[in-house]
Copies of this chain bind each other. A is one copy, B any other.
Amino acid sequence: MKMVYSFGDSLEGESAVSLLGGKGATLAEMARMSFPVPPGFTIPTTVSLSYLKTGAFPESLEDEVRDEIKAIEEEVGSYFGDKENPLLLSVRSGAPISMPGMMDTILNLGLTLEGVEGLAKRSGSERFAWDAFRRFVQMYGDVVMGLRTVQGRDPFEEDLHAYKREVGAKEDTDLDGGQMKALALRFLEIASVAGKPIPMDPQEQLWGAIRAVFGSWENDRAQVYRRLNGISDRMGTAVNVQAMVFGNLGEDSGTGVAFTRDPSTGKNEVYGEFLVNAQGEDVVAGIRTPLPIKEMEKAFPEAHKELMDVCRRLERHYGDMQDVEFTIQRKKLWMLQSRKGKRSGFAAVRIAVEMEEEGALSAEEALLRIEPDQLEHLLQPVFDAGGKRQAIAEGRLLARGLPAGPGAATGRVVFSAREAEEWARRGQPVILVRPETSPDDIRGMAAARGILTARGGLTSHAALVGRQMGKVCVVGCSTADIDVEARTLSFGGRVLREGNFISLDGTVGQVLDGEIPTRSSEVLGVLLDGYLPATGSKVYQHYAKVMGWADKVRRLGVRTNADQPDQARKAVAFGAEGIGLCRTEHMFFGGDRIQLVREMILALCEVEREEALDKLEPLQRADFAAIFRTMSGRPVTVRLLDPPLHEFLPHSKKEVEQVARALGLRVAEVNKRIESLREENPMLGHRGCRLGIVNPGITRMQARAILAAAIEVQKEGIEVKPEIMVPLVGHASELSHQERVIREVANELFASEGMEVPYLVGTMIELPRAALTAGEIVEHAEFFSFGTNDLTQTTLGVSRDDSAGFLFPYLEAGIIPADPFASLDSTGVGELVKMGVDRGRAKRPDLKVGICGEHGGDPRSISFFHEVGMDYISCSPFRVPVARLAAAQAALKNRTP
């Protein structure tokens, strides 16, 4: 086993990263490309694993490290442990995957009380030398010796503040050389008094630091992080040891960071900042205002030219925009780090497209450079950046919640769906504020610009419906005290009343006081209104190009979940190829329908129930016809009535009286029936196909409304492809029952209308038993659509609505890696999904298989759905572009080489 690798030793690709860690591999790579990298070496991950197992360093390690240090000494011309001319080193951890909790960095290692004098002499700056020394003591005391005050704070940081107060210095930079020396000596004293003296032997310093890096692989935070992210404990960490370079040696030195392209807009020019006479941490600390990278051209023309060249070559080499760190020591450029740069959605799209146009990437490579989630940024209205900055500066940031529906919205606070509709009717923008939302609130949500709730997670009703509607939505804002009765929304002392303005940033989850101006996104303008702003920006063209590439590559079809023609229209604009889930129950809340639905539910006898159903039928039929027209020949999957009936029941006394009057019943009798419909666990209650089996009239009415609408639209010359979906099937016999009812209705109708329409009958697979018995169920199903929301609820035994109390603590403690309602639990739920697909297809190889849970819009889940061989995914309209890209990436990643 080779114990140590010099930067530049030849080693490439994945194995380099797993052996040398991310940082070590990059440094090695940059050295190999002859970029100016301070010399150094990496102790590979394999050594850390061996150390953690045996508790001892491998035999030959010390020898190899000594040889490597000798090589550095020769290159740099200073000597480790030398008193006159000491070689200073940095020691950094470097796991193959960047990981919080791991030991970070120790700088200036190798300095001793004697060496610091030599350094002062050679550098010509006492202040520089002692500053370097006190930094070393502070870092070493912190991360290697683990020094803490009884309150758990950094004792050195506390002493620094105390000392500055003593000497009347405001900033660190106000301290002169003598003061730095005094401070450094105090630091040494602190460590000694605590019984953890800082070693003054450079070798001891080095091995202590290496030991600390290895040990940090097993600290709690790192372990939790690995568990959460599914990272193997057997990966290990590397240690990078490197010669120090200094940007704080005077006006001919400096340090900075740069992106190879603008991370905000994607513009192809190096973007970054630098500071003269400073160390790297000073840039991050933000004490002095750094200068834009352009000005480096004047200050350090040679170094600037070299940096531009390095940036260009690094980007070309890695095939992606890079984020680099550099130092200029006495005018010479040194590269310290290069990694993939984080960017906005706008930048991601532009960079991908332009790199393809430049010939740096193929279209397929470019596709893989964009985070699918980021596409949503391009679709959302946005706050005017200046306006929001000003609001925050004015202290108007009220609270943070969960960012459930991206975008920006400003409006007047209202506390009920009805108020939302009323204010909206008066032309006022409203934000609907509720403790949580229910299907009752749907029309109010539709009328609002944004939705704010105090309870519920990212897949709560508010988040789900809000997202589908494309509403800005902040949920689970627990510091919001909402009093619906008193119509007040309080955050500590600040009390807002109905009609007051608030603003929601759904992209980050912020709630702000008052109005903030917004503007609509360019892509949305083009897609929905065909309007291209005259700003000369090419956001839409870039978006369209990426979508074009994605559609060429993906195998998965992409449909949408939509119940209303306008939702469907939006989804088609975003590229939906059909409707994967049309929930009929949302239609039940429109206008007077709810009254008819209530009559149907509360009718005492079959006859009255049928009367109510007869009145509902033409209304449903008109709804379906409108959707078929909008979707014009694209398949439309309509799910039969699913939720438990009591969701539709009257709440207020007035509503109860209304129903009693219509049915000719006493109010007490109606109340009794309402009570009898109450359920302990509605999610597992009398819902789904159980409704249609116990009351086949409901299924008959819905099937007739769907198929009559289809015939009506087909007569207009528009193609229709209805797919009737039976929900919550657990037994093949249930589907067989409902299929028979549907086909009977169809045959009657086709006979009486003298016209047929092509239609399919299929089912949701959303119960574990359905997945297990898919081989029986498929005998009655022409398609399966996995309802992964309910399948997750039942497989995990977790109610989405009630999960906040333990899911958040679970996520924090690393018990689960991700919210299972946001990203599919591929181990548990996923096994059932795979089983369902396989057992269904085994009996019916041409079975159409899709998924219509919220996971249909989640890139990680989409990759899973691709792998198990689904035909399509269905998601909310605004997620359609995301899904198209994610589907393309899944196809590329799973391509057999």
A337 contacts chain B at the CB level, 8 A cutoff: no
Q: Smallest distance from the beta carbon of A828 to chain B beta carbons, Å?
A: 4
- Which residues of the other chain, B, contact A772 by a CB distance below 8 angstroms? 795, 827-828, 831-832
A404 within 8 A of B: no
A731 near B815: Cβ-Cβ < 8 Å = yes
Interface residues in A794-813 (C-beta closer than 8 Å to B): 794-799, 801-803, 805-806, 809-810, 813
A733 and B815 contacting across the interface, CB-CB below 8 Å = yes
Q: Which residue of B lies closest to A825 (CB)?
A: B769
Say yes or no: B693 contacts A805, CB within 8 Å: no
Chain B nearest CB, measured from A475 CB (Å): 15
For residue A679, give the distance in angstroms from its CB to the closest CB of chain B: 4
Q: Which of A671-708 contact B (CB under 8 A)?
A: 679-686, 688, 690, 693-694
Name the one of B227, B737, B769, B814 contacting A795, with C-beta atoms under 8 angstroms.
B769
A790 part of interface (Cβ distance < 8 Å): yes
Q: Which residues of B contact A474 (CB under 8 A)?
A: none
In the complex, residue of chain B having the shortest beta-carbon distance to the beta carbon of A227: B733
Query: A816: CB under 8 A from chain B?
Result: yes
Find out whether the CB atom of B809 lies under 8 angstroms from the CB atom of A693.
Answer: yes
Q: Which of A269-299 contact B (CB under 8 A)?
A: none
In the complex, what distance in Å separates the CA atom of A832 from the CA atom of B769?
9
Would you call A838 an interface residue if the criterion is a C-beta within 8 Å of the partner chain's C-beta atoms? no
Contact of A813 among B679, B686, B693, B803 (CB under 8 A): B693
Contacting residues, chain B, for A769 (C-beta < 8 A): 795-797, 825, 828-829
**A728 interface residue (CB < 8 Å to B):** yes
Known: A794-B795, A806-B686. A815 touches B737 (CB 8 A): yes
Complex contacts, A805 vs chain B, CB 8 Å = 685-686, 690, 694
- Indicate which residue in B767, B773, B809 contacts A797 across the interface (CB closer than 8 Å): B767
| A809 and B803 alpha carbons, distance in the complex (Å) | 32
- Confirm or deny: A734 has a beta carbon within 8 angstroms of a beta carbon on chain B: yes
Q: Roughly how many angstroms separate A805 CA and B679 CA in the complex, as a whole number?
A: 10
Interface residue A94 (Cβ < 8 Å from any Cβ of B): no
Most buried by B among A769, A794, A796: A769
A454 to chain B, nearest CB (A): 10
Q: Give min CB distance, A700 to chain B, whole Å.
A: 16
Measured in the bound complex, the distance between the Cα atoms of B123 and A773 in whole Å is 62
- A828/B683 contact (C-beta < 8 A), A693-B810, A795-B769 known: no
Report the bound CA distance from A683 to B683 in whole Å.
9
* A881 close to chain B: CB less than 8 A: no
A734 in contact with B681 given A802-B686, A829-B769 (CB within 8 Å): no
B737 touches A828 (CB 8 A): no
Minimal Cβ-Cβ distance residue in B for A681:
B799
Q: Shortest beta-carbon distance, A858 to chain B, in Å?
A: 19
Q: Mark A222-238, 1 if CB is under 8 A from B, else 0.
A: 00000100000000000
Which of B681, B734, B803, B813 meets A683, CB within 8 Å?
A: B681
Asked if A850 is at the interface of the complex by the 8 Å CB criterion, the answer is: no
| Chain B positions within 8 Å of A831 at CB level | 772
Pairwise interchain contact B680-A682, C-beta atoms closer than 8 A: yes
Instruction: Say yes or no: B733 contacts A814, CB within 8 Å.
Output: yes
With the chains together, A768 CA to B768 CA distance in Å? 7
> Least Cβ distance of A460 to chain B in Å?
11
Rounded to whole angstroms, the CA-CA distance of A767 and B794 in the bound complex is 8
Interface check A793, CB cutoff 8 A: yes
A115 contacts the other chain (CB 8 A): no
Rounded to whole angstroms, the CA-CA distance of A731 and B685 in the bound complex is 25
Q: Is A730 an interface residue (CB 8 A)?
A: yes
Within 8 A of B (CB), among A745-798: 766-769, 772-773, 790, 793-798
Contacts of A827 in B (CB 8 A): 772-773
One complex includes copies of this chain to the number of: 2
Q: Which of B227, B797, B815 contacts A794 (CB 8 A)?
A: B797
Chain B neighbourhood of A686, CB < 8 A: 802, 805-806
Please give, as numbers and ranges, the residues of chain B lying within 8 Å of A794 by CB-CB distance. Answer: 684, 768, 794-795, 797
**Residue contact B767 to A679, C-beta cutoff 8 Å:** no
Q: What residues of B have a CB within 8 angstroms of the CB of A731 in the complex?
A: 815-816
B802 near A681: Cβ-Cβ < 8 Å: yes
> What CA separation (Å) do A783 and B501 show in the bound complex?
58
Residues of B within 8 A of A768 (CB): 768, 794-797, 828, 832
A673 CB → nearest B CB, Å: 12
Task: Please encode chain A, from 324 to 345, with 1 for each CB lying within 8 Å of some chain B CB and 0 for all others.
Answer: 0000000000000000000000
Name the distance in Å between A488's Cβ and chain B's nearest Cβ: 15
Which of B688, B766, B773 has a CB less than 8 Å from the CB of A828? B773
Report the minimal beta-carbon distance from A243 to chain B, rounded to whole angstroms: 43
- A795-B767, A796-B730 are contacts. A806–B694 as well, Cβ < 8 Å? yes
- With the chains together, A686 CA to B806 CA distance in Å? 7
CB pair B799–A685 under 8 Å, yes or no, is: yes
Which of B679, B728, B825 interacts with A799 by CB under 8 Å?
Answer: B679
Q: How far is the CB of A807 from chain B (nearest CB, A)?
A: 9
Q: B802 to A684, Cβ gap below 8 A?
A: yes
Q: Which B residues are in CB contact (< 8 Å) with A693?
A: 806, 809-810, 813, 815
Within 8 A of B (CB), among A819-868: 825, 827-829, 831-832
B residues in contact with A806, CB < 8 Å: 686, 690, 693-694
CA–CA, A829 to B831, complex, Å?
15
Candidate in A682, A728, A793, A799 with the most chain B CB atoms within 10 angstroms: A799
Which residues of chain B come closer than 8 Å to A829, judged between CB atoms? 769
Across the interface, which residues of B come within 8 angstroms of A773, CB to CB?
827-828
Inter-chain contacts of A730 with B (CB < 8 A): 796-798, 828
Tell me if B682 and A683 are in contact (CB < 8 A): no
Choose among B694, B802, B814 the residue that contacts A680 (Cβ–Cβ < 8 A).
Answer: B802
Q: Is the CB of A801 within 8 A of B690?
A: no
A789 vs chain B, min Cβ distance (A)? 12
Closest to A690 in B: B806
Give Cα A327 to B704, complex, Å.
59
Which B residues touch A803, using CB under 8 A? 685
**In the bound complex, CA of A693 to CA of B688 (Å):** 33
**Nearest chain B residue, comparing its CB with the CB of A688:** B797
Cβ contacts under 8 Å, A815 to chain B = 693, 731, 733-734, 737
Residues of A723-744 contacting chain B, CB below 8 A: 728, 730-731, 733-734, 737
C-alpha spacing A525/B383, complex, angstroms: 82
Establish whether residues B813 and A684, one from each chain, have CB atoms under 8 Å apart when the complex forms.
Answer: no
Tell me the nearest residue of chain B to A805, going by C-beta.
B686
Complex Cα distance, B815 from A680, in Å, reads 24
7 chain-A/chain-B pairs, Cβ below 8 angstroms: A681-B802, A684-B798, A684-B799, A694-B805, A730-B797, A767-B795, A773-B827
Please list the 3 inter-chain residue pairs (A to B) with the smallest Cβ-Cβ separation, ordered nearest first: A684-B799, A769-B828, A681-B799
Given contacts A679-B799, A693-B815, A767-B795, 12 further A-B contacts (CB under 8 A): A679-B802, A681-B802, A683-B684, A683-B799, A684-B793, A686-B806, A694-B806, A730-B796, A733-B815, A766-B797, A772-B827, A794-B795
A residues touching B (Cβ–Cβ < 8 Å)? Answer: 227, 679-686, 688, 690, 693-694, 728, 730-731, 733-734, 737, 766-769, 772-773, 790, 793-799, 801-803, 805-806, 809-810, 813-816, 825, 827-829, 831-832
